[in-house]
Amino acid sequence: MTAITFYFQVHQPYRLKRLEPGHKLAKPEELFDDAENERLCRRVAARGYLRTNRILLRAIDESEGAFRCAFSISGTALSQLEAWAPEALDSFVALAETGAVEFLAETSHHSLACFGNLAEFEAQVAVQRKRIEALFGRRPTTFRNTELILSENIAKIAERLGFSVILGEGIEHLLHGRNVHEVWRPRGCRSIVTLLRDYRFSDDIAFRFSNREWDQYPLDARRFAQWMRDVPASEPFVGLFMDYETFGEHQGEDTGILDFLTWLPRHVLDDPRSGDEGLVFATPHEVATRFAPLGELRIERPVSWADAERDVSAWLGNPMQNDAHSALYAALEPLRSDATLLEAWRLLSTSDHVYYMCTKRRSDGDVHDYFSPYLGPHDAYVLFVRAVEALMELHGAR
Q: Where in the sequence numbering do the catalytic residues fall?
A: 147
DSSP per-residue string spanning 16-73: BP-PPTTPPPSSGGGGB-HHHHHHHHHHHIIIIIHHHHHHHHHHHHHTTT---EEEEE
Q: Which amino acid is at 109?
A: H
Separation in Å, CA 362 to CA 308, 315, 359: 11, 17, 10
Q: At 302, is the secondary structure helix, strand, or coil?
A: coil
For the chain, the helix, strand and coil percentages under 3-state DSSP, each to the nearest 5: 50, 15, 35
Q: Closest Cα to residue 28, out of 270, 262, 238, 342?
A: 342
Given the DSSP bridges, would you call strands 101-103 and 69-73 parallel, antiparallel or unpaired?
parallel
Q: Which residues pair with residue 73 across a beta bridge? A: 10
Q: Residue 268: name the closest of 66, 99, 52, 9 by CA.
A: 66
Measure the CA–CA gap between 40 and 163, rounded to whole angstroms. Answer: 33
SS3 300: coil
Instruction: Give 348's contacts (C-beta < 8 A, 6+ positions apart).
Output: 31, 328, 384, 387, 388, 391
Q: State how far the Cα of 286 lies from the Cα of 264, in Å rounded to an integer.
A: 20
Number of H helices, E strands in the chain: 19, 10
**Is the bond preceding 218 in cis, omega lying within 30 degrees of 0?**
yes
Nearest one of 142, 154, 126 to 72, comparing CA atoms: 142
